[in-house]
């Protein structure tokens, strides 16, 4: 490629307006310390640029000055131009006029010496001779017919740029194809192409249908060499005459190749345009237009694709999927939710950098195996979402199954040790609801969690759950494995790969014999030195031998066997009895206790009646008690969740949306879920001290909550650094081991009430007496 490089310098230099070179050199003599000098026409197209004149800052200032000069009511103080300073540099823009006719502008930037900035009036005085002779030269070069022609060209350029703003807004391949076609037509080329290999973007267009085959051979022959050259040189290549001995061989074309790159990042793609040798040369104006388009494409790619995986970002994914759904087709669409299995084990054993490499390999596998119409996104961390338009369930399940097998067969190793990779997929059909995409994503996440519970490395299809039975109905037969999901009620699925840690018979026996205890974990108000008065109530189970059972084991088993709602009823009965025994004193202390409700209780149509009856029976002060439901459970059961929330709030008690930020629900759901608090997901909080993406997400959640008058609580505060980061972001409350570990509820209450007037002991209810006995 060396020969191309040498000749490209010559060709690009010849493309500049040599007639203005004396005037540019004169200004360089008058301002020897200038970093960049540019002469621009009235449409801000550069006519002459000094060596090393790069970057968007100066052209943007020139365009700003010319737009202001054309306005009907320009600022008198900036009629002849202005000065702008930033980061130790100052730019000056000088407007060129002949009478009332706007001719163009001169832009100049220089580094501030010794911290001083020269006034604009002083710079005008220094450059006045050069500006005057340059003005006369521009008048001589632009007679009226040429001015009219240039105006038509500029109008076409402007239309092309405006089209590019809308066409490539979402990063759609079809939109990029339209952009390439517009370039070919407007710039009178024979063929054009856009290649972004890592994003699997390849858009081509030929002006002549009869030449498409030969044009395809031309692109196949040149694009790899040109992309490699652009990656090294990072600048535009203009060849109006092919150099001899080129690696590309003898080409009967004139060529314009512009790299796609965002800021100082590596070149990610290339925009190519070709003309026959008999056509006119590529002009500098056209080169600059293509460079502006390339910058626009780079911006869209930067904001629509995740840099770590090359997949779509979550917002871009949602926009594309919603656009397809908005077309109103009655075809069956599917959504997939995928989660990498045991990535935390790789991070712990081999380091975060190896985990990132594993994530990149899996994302690459997904990307290269995607069918043409399927879109995929990395939504956060190790979780992905896929949208399969016009795809029935059996075809989607088959596709995900092939991905599962391909990922398991990946040859991934670190320091000679092979690391097994696998992924769990949840699949859901997009329903015909008010929020179809959010609903489908939430239910697909539910199915994904079931896939993990069933042994990982598999695909599970979500189906609408059966109507839950009330607690009084006899327990189902244990010969069948009932609901499997940890978030919402799932259909019965047989499985021999999963062995329950806590059998259903043990859970029901524990409920019948009160083999549970309650713990309370403190929640502190940030920027307050008062002792904790807010607590979350946590359930603990005791097995038949008197040993504690891990919550992860018995809670998941309860949800899997459809017993979670029965456990919620036990918790509510217990909490109301123990709190009612000292309710007035607790209210006087400003105490507050939050009870978690499982997704099965949310989806149980009989549960709201039970809860309302208990709340009316014990008549606890409204500020003493609240409830928490997870974001995913609320979205998966949106109608019943809204009903439950409104009934609870009607009795004066609040409800918080737990694990907020974990799921895929649209923020629009908050309008239908009148919650009083948001508890931010611990996965976001744990990464808060070092993760910029988590910081941005939490900041957005806090701002959203403040705009809706909602309180925020950060979970999983495990270090002083995380606590400090949470405080800086404006979160209201904090909870975690760095603040306080869970303790027996009875001990917490006794400490709070010690010395409170009229209180001698906490217990005394029939249930407490039974537990004590």
| Confidence check: pLDDT of 409 > 70 | yes
Picking from 98, 109, 104, the residue whose alpha carbon sits closest to that of residue 27 is: 109
Picking from 274, 290, 772, 268, the residue whose alpha carbon sits closest to that of residue 517 is: 772
| Band (100; pLDDT cuts 50, 70, 90) | confident
| Confidence check: pLDDT of 528 > 90 | no
| Sheet of strand 81-86, all strands in order from the earlier edge strand to the far edge | 46-49, 34-41, 101-111, 89-98, 81-86
Residue-wise pLDDT for 689-710, tens only, equals 777 778 888 888 898 888 889 9
pLDDT for 711: 93
CB 271 within 8 A of CB 260: yes
| Band (96; pLDDT cuts 50, 70, 90) | very high
Q: Which segments of 42-122 are extended strands (E)?
A: 46-49, 81-86, 89-98, 101-111
Instruction: Give the residue, 252 or 274, on which the prediction is more confident.
Output: 274
Residue-wise pLDDT for 626-672, tens only, equals 999 988 788 777 888 888 999 999 999 999 998 887 754 545 567 67
**Average pLDDT of the chain to the nearest whole number:** 80
Picking from 328, 306, 308, 325, the residue whose alpha carbon sits closest to that of residue 316 is: 306
How many whole angstroms separate alpha carbon 224 and alpha carbon 216? 13
| Band (756; pLDDT cuts 50, 70, 90) | low
Instruction: Give the residue, 522 or 214, on which the prediction is more confident.
Output: 522
Picking from 430, 444, 434, the residue whose alpha carbon sits closest to that of residue 385 is: 444
Task: Compute the average pLDDT of residues 546-574.
Answer: 84
Least confident among 46-55, 274-283, 660-669, 758-767: 758-767
Main-chain dihedrals φ then ψ at residue 334, nearest 5 degrees: -130, 155
pLDDT for 46: 84
| Confidence check: pLDDT of 124 > 70 | yes
Task: Compute the average pLDDT of residues 408-431.
Answer: 92
Task: Compute the average pLDDT of residues 110-125.
Answer: 78
| Band (465; pLDDT cuts 50, 70, 90) | low
Q: Give me the percent of the chain exceeding a pLDDT of 70.
A: 82
pLDDT for 95: 93
| Confidence check: pLDDT of 682 > 90 | no
> Angle, nearest 10°, between helix axes 2-15 and 212-233?
90
How many whole angstroms separate alpha carbon 667 and alpha carbon 680? 14
Instruction: List all residues 6 or more positions away from 651 whose beta carbon is below 8 Å from its beta carbon.
Output: 612, 615, 616, 622
| Confidence check: pLDDT of 487 > 50 | no
Instruction: Give the residue, 486 or 119, on which the prediction is more confident.
Output: 119
Q: Residue 5: count other Cβ atoms within 10 Å of its Cβ.
A: 14
How many whole angstroms separate alpha carbon 209 and alpha carbon 264? 38
**Alpha-carbon distances of 647 from 594, 611, 615, 629, 650, rounded to whole Å:** 17, 9, 11, 14, 5
pLDDT for 732: 94
**Alpha-carbon distances of 360 from 152, 269, 404, rounded to whole Å:** 48, 19, 16
pLDDT for 106: 94
pLDDT for 446: 87
Task: Compute the average pLDDT of residues 85-100.
Answer: 85
| Sheet of strand 269-276, all strands in order from the earlier edge strand to the far edge | 201-206, 191-196, 269-276, 253-260, 237-239
Give residue limits of the domains in the chain.
14-142, 157-304, 314-461, 504-758
How many whole angstroms separate alpha carbon 139 and alpha carbon 471? 91
Task: Compute the average pLDDT of residues 259-269.
Answer: 84
| Confidence check: pLDDT of 335 > 90 | yes
In CATH terms, 314-461 corresponds, of 3.40.50.300, 3.30.70.260, 3.30.1490.20, 3.30.70.270, to 3.30.70.270
pLDDT for 249: 55
pLDDT for 326: 87
Chain centre to alpha carbon of residue 336: 17
Half-sphere exposure of 407 (CA within 13 A, CB side): 29
| Confidence check: pLDDT of 254 > 50 | yes
CA angle, residues 241, 242, 245, in degrees to nearest 5? 145
How many whole angstroms separate alpha carbon 584 and alpha carbon 623? 11
| Confidence check: pLDDT of 289 > 90 | no
Least confident among 29-38, 479-488, 655-664: 479-488
Residue-wise pLDDT for 139-159, tens only, equals 877 654 444 445 445 545 545
Q: Domain 157-304, CATH 3.30.450.40 — does that match? A: yes
pLDDT for 427: 95
CB 594 within 8 A of CB 627: yes
| Band (71; pLDDT cuts 50, 70, 90) | confident
Quick check: do 14-142 and 314-461 share a fold? no
Instruction: Give the residue, 611 or 506, on which the prediction is more confident.
Output: 611
**Per-residue three-class SS string for 376-440:** EEEEECCEEEEEECCCCHHHHHHHHHHHHHHHHCCCCEECCEECCCCEEEEEEECCCCCCHHHHH
Task: Compute the average pLDDT of residues 358-385.
Answer: 90
Residue-wise pLDDT for 736-745, tens only, equals 988 989 999 9
pLDDT for 313: 87
- Which range scores top for mean pLDDT: 21-30, 110-119, 209-218, 399-408? 399-408
pLDDT for 250: 62
Does an H or E element contain 275, and which? strand 269-276
pLDDT for 608: 92
CATH architecture of 504-758: Alpha-Beta Barrel (3.20)
Burial group, residue 365, by CB count within 10 angstroms (0-12, 13-18, 19+): middle
Q: Give me the percent of the chain exceeding a pLDDT of 90.
A: 25
Task: Compute the average pLDDT of residues 237-264.
Answer: 76
How many whole angstroms separate alpha carbon 560 and alpha carbon 500? 9
| Band (178; pLDDT cuts 50, 70, 90) | confident
Task: Compute the average pLDDT of residues 327-337.
Answer: 86
| Confidence check: pLDDT of 21 > 50 | yes
pLDDT for 329: 73
Residue-wise pLDDT for 50-70, tens only, equals 877 766 678 888 888 888 888
pLDDT for 464: 67
CATH number of 14-142: 3.30.450.30
pLDDT for 18: 60
Q: How far apart are the first and last CA of the chain?
A: 88
Give the global pTM.
Answer: 0.45
pLDDT for 768: 39
- Which range scores top for mean pLDDT: 149-158, 382-391, 493-502, 714-723? 382-391
| Confidence check: pLDDT of 406 > 90 | yes
């Amino acid at each position: 490629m060396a020969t191309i490089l040498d000749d490209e310098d010559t060709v690009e230099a010849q493309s500049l307006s040599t007639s203005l070179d004396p005037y540019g050199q004169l200004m360089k003599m008058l301002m020897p310390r200038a970093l960049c000098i540019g002469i621009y026409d009235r449409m801000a197209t550069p006519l002459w640029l000094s060596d090393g004149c790069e970057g968007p800052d100066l052209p943007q200032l020139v365009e700003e000055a010319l737009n202001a000069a054309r306005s009907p009511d320009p600022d008198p103080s900036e009629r002849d131009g202005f000065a702008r300073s930033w980061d130790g540099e100052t730019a000056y823009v000088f407007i060129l006029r002949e009478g009332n006719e706007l001719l163009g502008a001169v832009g100049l930037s220089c580094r501030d010496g010794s911290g001083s900035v020269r006034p604009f009036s002083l710079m005008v005085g220094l450059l006045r001779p050069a500006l005057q002779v340059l003005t006369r030269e521009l008048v001589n070069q632009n007679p009226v017919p040429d001015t009219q022609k240039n105006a038509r060209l500029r109008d076409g350029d402007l239309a092309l740029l405006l089209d590019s703003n809308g066409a490539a807004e979402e990063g759609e391949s079809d939109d990029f194809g339209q952009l390439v076609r517009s370039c070919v037509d407007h710039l009178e080329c024979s063929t054009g192409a856009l290649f972004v290999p890592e994003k699997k973007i390849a858009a081509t267009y030929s002006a002549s249908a009869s030449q498409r085959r030969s044009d395809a051979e031309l692109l196949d022959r040149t694009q790899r060499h040109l992309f490699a050259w652009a990656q090294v040189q990072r600048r535009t290549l203009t060849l109006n005459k092919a150099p001899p001995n080129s690696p590309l061989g003898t080409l009967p074309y004139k060529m314009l190749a512009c790299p796609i790159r965002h800021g100082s990042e590596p070149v990610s793609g290339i925009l190519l345009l070709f003309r026959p040798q008999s056509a006119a040369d590529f002009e500098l104006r056209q080169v600059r237009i293509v460079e502006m388009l390339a910058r626009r494409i780079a911006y869209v790619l930067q904001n629509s694709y995740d840099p770590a995986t090359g997949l779509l970002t979550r917002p871009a994914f949602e926009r594309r999927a919603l656009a397809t759904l908005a077309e109103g087709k009655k075809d069956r669409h599917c959504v997939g939710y995928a989660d990498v299995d045991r990535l935390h084990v790789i991070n712990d054993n081999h380091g975060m950098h190896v985990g990132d490499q594993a994530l990149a390999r899996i994302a690459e596998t997904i990307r290269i195996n995607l069918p043409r119409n399927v879109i995929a996104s990395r939504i956060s961390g190790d979780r992905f979402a896929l949208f399969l338009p016009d795809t029935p369930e059996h075809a989607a399940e088959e596709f995900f199954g092939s991905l599962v097998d391909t990922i398991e067969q990946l040859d991934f190793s670190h320091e000679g040790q092979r690391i097994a990779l696998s992924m769990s997929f949840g699949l859901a059909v997009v329903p015909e609801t008010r929020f179809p995409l959010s609903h489908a994503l939430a239910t697909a996440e539910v199915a994904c969690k079931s896939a993990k519970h069933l042994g990982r490395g598999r695909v599970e299809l979500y189906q609408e759950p059966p109507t839950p039975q009330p607690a009084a109905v006899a327990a189902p037969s244990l010969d069948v494995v009932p609901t499997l999901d940890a978030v919402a009620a799932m259909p019965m699925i047989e499985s021999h790969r999963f062995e329950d840690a806590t059998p259903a018979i043990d859970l029901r026996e524990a409920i019948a014999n009160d083999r549970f205890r309650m713990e309370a974990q403190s929640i502190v108000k940030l920027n307050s030195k008062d002792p904790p008065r807010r607590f979350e109530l946590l359930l603990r189970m005791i097995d038949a031998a008197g040993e504690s059972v891990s919550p992860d084991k018995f809670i998941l088993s309860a949800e899997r066997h459809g017993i979670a709602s029965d456990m919620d009823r036990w918790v509510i009965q217990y909490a109301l009895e123990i709190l009612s025994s000292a309710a007035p004193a607790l209210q006087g202390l400003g105490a507050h206790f939050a009870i978690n409700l499982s997704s099965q209780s949310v989806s149980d149509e009989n549960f709201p009646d039970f809860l309302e009856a208990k709340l009316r029976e014990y008549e606890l002060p409204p500020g003493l008690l609240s409830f928490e439901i997870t974001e995913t459970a609320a979205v998966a059961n949106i109608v019943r969740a809204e009903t439950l929330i409104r009934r609870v709030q009607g009795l004066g008690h609040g409800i918080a949306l737990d694990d907020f930020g974990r799921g895929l629900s649209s923020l629009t759901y908050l309008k239908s879920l009148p919650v009083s608090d948001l508890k931010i997901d611990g996965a976001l909080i744990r990464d808060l001290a070092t993760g910029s993406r988590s910081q941005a997400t939490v900041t957005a959640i806090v701002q959203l909550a403040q705009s809706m008058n909602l309180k925020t609580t950060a979970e999983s505060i495990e270090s002083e650094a995380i606590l400090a980061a949470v405080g800086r972001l404006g979160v209201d409350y904090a909870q975690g081991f760095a603040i306080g570990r869970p303790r027996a509820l009875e001990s917490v209450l006794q400490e709070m009430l010690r010395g409170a007037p009229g209180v001698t002991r906490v217990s005394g209810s029939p249930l407490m007496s039974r537990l004590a006995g």
